[in-house]
Structure 1
Amino acid sequence: MEKILVVNAGSSSVKFRVYSVEERATLQQVISGQIDGIGVRPRLKASGTGDEKLIDRSYDPNEIPDVASAMRVAGAWLRDVQHVTFTSIGHRVVHGGPNFDRPICVDEAVLADLERYVPLAPLHQPNNLAPIRILLERFPDMPQVACFDTAFHRGHSDVADRYAIPDKLYAEGVRRYGFHGLSYEYVAERMRELMPDRAGGRIIVAHLGSGASMCAIQNGRSVESTMGFTALDGLPMGTRPGQIDPGVVLYLLSEKGMSPAAVQDFLYKECGLKGLSGISNDVRDLLQSSEPGPALALDHFVYRIGLYTGYLAASLNGLDSFVFTAGIGERSAQMRARIGEKLGWLGANIDPEANGENALRISHPSSRLGVYVIPTNEELMIAKHTLAVLSAAGSDDAVHRRTA
């Protein structure tokens, strides 16, 4: 039976899932796992169908010091212990740049093009591409499909896509891309399944996790996003500042004497909730603290979500539904309640009981604005794209399709 391996690699973890392709091209997840704590406290955990535990093993840091070794360990376990043979591999790649507006089979030329965007996503792109490079070298005939977080947003209008800068920079690819697209695409698809009467309406989806953004969706398509050229823009995140005056960057360079590399490191790793709170980038830690720093960080997070809701609602000329997803959005009833208060002017009225139960609809029946919780599943979206691309790969045009 055909099996697809999905790989979602980060800086300190590699998530993987195995899907079998059933009748009528339906996908069935058979294994879900990850190696986290890479280089520090590596741990391989995986479960099968029905959530039965398959492995929970810790390793010495020297055994799994990097993403490459994590891939080797996970691959050996899948092959030698679970006896899984893959027919294709799908990857999450954060930045597709201006050339890729849909999933694509990866060869050396495509990989070289994608490596150009490492400076635009330094936390993610190198780690997304590392497994592709490893597998391309070891198994050159294995089909690999790159699925981009930017692709879902590529249908934006020119006025939404551009910065007010000279056209030559836009032609070079300096434009607003938007991210978390695989998550938004999945949520839009689930809305068509769960509530078809609302799926075509004016929707804001809030992907709230360590990385956070929001997206305006209408008729299942992205209209506007809070993120732009890089994944630094928009909402404050775990360690990233979100929207910031470019003059602050100039100040750090000219007045504080910081190098570009130091500024990049600062903006990606020392700001956001971590910078404001002074203690942590994890909302769970901040909610448990009684100190003023964590309280300010959470207030700021909620405040900016409220502001961006107005911004995105304006792009839609109104709002019918608001959807929470990702780690904070799916699991923190307390944060959803606080954000719901900020949406009161739009007619939101959160039902405390439904919210506490993580129900699909958490707004009260009397609420003018429908508020929902839909767990995301980027890996399933990647598996679907991988299957679709390879099914259409009978011609070179289908395999190597790019935008102009």
Structure 2
Amino acid sequence: MYVLALNTGSSSLKYGLYRVEGDAVEALYADQTDAPRRDADPVKAITDALHAKHLPEPDAIGHRIVHGGPNIRDHALIDDALMAHLEEAKAYAPLHVPAAVEMVKRAREAFPKAPQVACFDTAFHKTMPLVAKTLPLPADLRAGGIERYGFHGLSYESIVRQLGADIPARVVIAHLGNGASLCAVREGKSVDTTMGLTPTGGIVMGTRPGDLDPGVLLYLMCEKGYDAERLEKLVDRESGLKGLSGGTSDMRKLHAANDEASRLALDVFVHTARKHIAAMVASLGGLDLLVFTGGIGENDAVTRDAILAGLQWLGDFNSRVIPTEEDAQIARHTAQLAPVS
């Protein structure tokens, strides 16, 4: 089967055509373009690129969807009922889900005969125990779907798969990039993670603050006149490394700048990553392996070393860098779920 994997982010769209036979996945072509916008058609750019390379039409299409909301906890074939759930899920990840839903709509129009599959970042975390996923709120709110969902699940799945049968019992995976989170993995299953109801919580990220005293938001509402729209812009687009440095979320630029604001941004990132790694270790009762992945985790040795330098008190544990293979995971799930004759 030939599967087109579409990995829609908040500002970019990674895509690849894969040949899938059983559990074997071969990448035939991969690239990146702009995320869906009203005034541009990324699907045409993709089809033009595939035609230029004389590659086959996809038999099925797989989409990375960050959040499925409270009612969708597994990767699934996309139909009209699922599309309705995705419309509801936009509120849970406003940076990601709206763009992904737009991408699904455009792909369904461009490839009307190809079945389409939604691969959810939240699915990997459905194994978290009640104590880890429960947020300390009244029962009526929790019953309405407010809980810790966790994200970057396709990345974590890919790391667990690459580690294979020899995966240690207690693993912490650090997916560090513009979006960043950590996951505690016991016996190959998620038991705790840093992000919560939305992809905004946890450690410091490119433009998101991670965990933030809710009193800060109340203060901004009551004393500074911030409304919901202004708060959303603050916590999703203006905070994190960008807010700390006064302008950029690019780690390469922060390292090169070497000014006070940039150094503070880097130090805060490292500090919060260490703290949350320690929290994941507490959930596991120890640590056998720490895995770095994601754009920063895979490519920024200076930041990795700084994080590790503050964890020596944990004792003996191994650390590895393993490239994430999210798109290959999308291709595998799509091939399994797509009803192709």
Common fold, TM-score beyond 0.5? yes
- 1:73 is displaced (CA, Å) by 2.2
Aligned match of 2:92 in 120, 125, 128?
120
Q: Structure 1 residue 371 and structure 2 residue 312: aligned?
A: no
* Matched letter for residue 370 of structure 1: N
1:133-191: CA deviation from partner (whole Å, max 9, x where unpaired): 12224444320000000110011111111111122212211110000010011101111
The CA distance in 2 between the partners of 1:71 and 1:255, in whole Å, is: 45
- 1:68 is displaced (CA, Å) by 5.4
Cα distance 1:309–1:21, how it changes in 2: closer, same or farther (>3 A)? Answer: closer
Identity of aligned residues (%): 42
Cα distance 1:17–1:253, how it changes in 2: closer, same or farther (>3 A)? Answer: same
Q: Structure 1 residue 223 and structure 2 residue 191: aligned?
A: yes
Please name the residue that 2:15 is paired with.
Answer: 16
Q: Structure 1 residue 104 and structure 2 residue 103: aligned?
A: no
Please name the residue that 1:388 is paired with.
Answer: 336
Bigger mean CA offset, 13-22 vs 375-384:
13-22
Cα distance 1:126–1:19, how it changes in 2: closer, same or farther (>3 A)? Answer: same
8 Å contact kept, 1:14–1:71: no
1:76-103: CA deviation from partner (whole Å, max 9, x where unpaired): 3324652421110000000012222211
The CA distance in 2 between the partners of 1:65 and 1:110, in whole Å, is: 22
Map 1:159-308 → 2, pairs under 5 A: 159-192=131-164, 196=166, 199-308=167-276
Please name the residue that 1:398 is paired with.
Answer: none
The CA distance in 2 between the partners of 1:277 and 1:256, in whole Å, is: 22
Please name the residue that 1:77 is paired with.
Answer: 49
Between 1 and 2, higher relative CO (CA 8 Å, sep ≥ 6) is seen in 2
1:328-363: CA deviation from partner (whole Å, max 9, x where unpaired): 11011111110111111112xxxxxxxxxxxxxxxx
The CA distance in 2 between the partners of 1:385 and 1:333, in whole Å, is: 32
8 Å contact kept, 1:149–1:179: yes
1:8-49: CA deviation from partner (whole Å, max 9, x where unpaired): 122332211001134x4522111111114x6xxxxxxxxxxx
8 Å contact kept, 1:15–1:35: yes
**Any stretches of 5+ residues in structure 2 without a counterpart?**
none
Larger Rg: 1
8 Å contact kept, 1:68–1:130: no
The CA distance in 1 between the partners of 2:145 and 2:295, in whole Å, is: 31
Bigger mean CA offset, 290-299 vs 5-14:
5-14
- 1:254 is displaced (CA, Å) by 1.3
* Matched letter for residue 7 of structure 1: L
1:248-283: CA deviation from partner (whole Å, max 9, x where unpaired): 111111111011011101110110011111131111
Over the aligned positions, Cα root-mean-square deviation in angstroms equals 1.8
Aligned match of 1:335 in 299, 303, 310?
303
**Any stretches of 5+ residues in structure 1 without a counterpart?**
39-63, 348-367, 395-404
Map 1:83-162 → 2, pairs under 5 A: 83-162=55-134
* Matched letter for residue 227 of structure 2: S
8 Å contact kept, 2:168–2:289: no
Cα distance 1:217–1:65, how it changes in 2: closer, same or farther (>3 A)? Answer: closer
Number of matched pairs:
341
8 Å contact kept, 1:9–1:67: no
**SS in structure 1 opposite 2:127?**
coil
Aligned match of 1:28 in 7, 10, 26?
26
8 Å contact kept, 1:279–1:294: no
**SS in structure 2 opposite 1:116?**
helix
The CA distance in 1 between the partners of 2:79 and 2:40, in whole Å, is: 19
* Matched letter for residue 129 of structure 1: V
Please name the residue that 1:316 is paired with.
Answer: 284
The CA distance in 2 between the partners of 1:109 and 1:221, in whole Å, is: 29
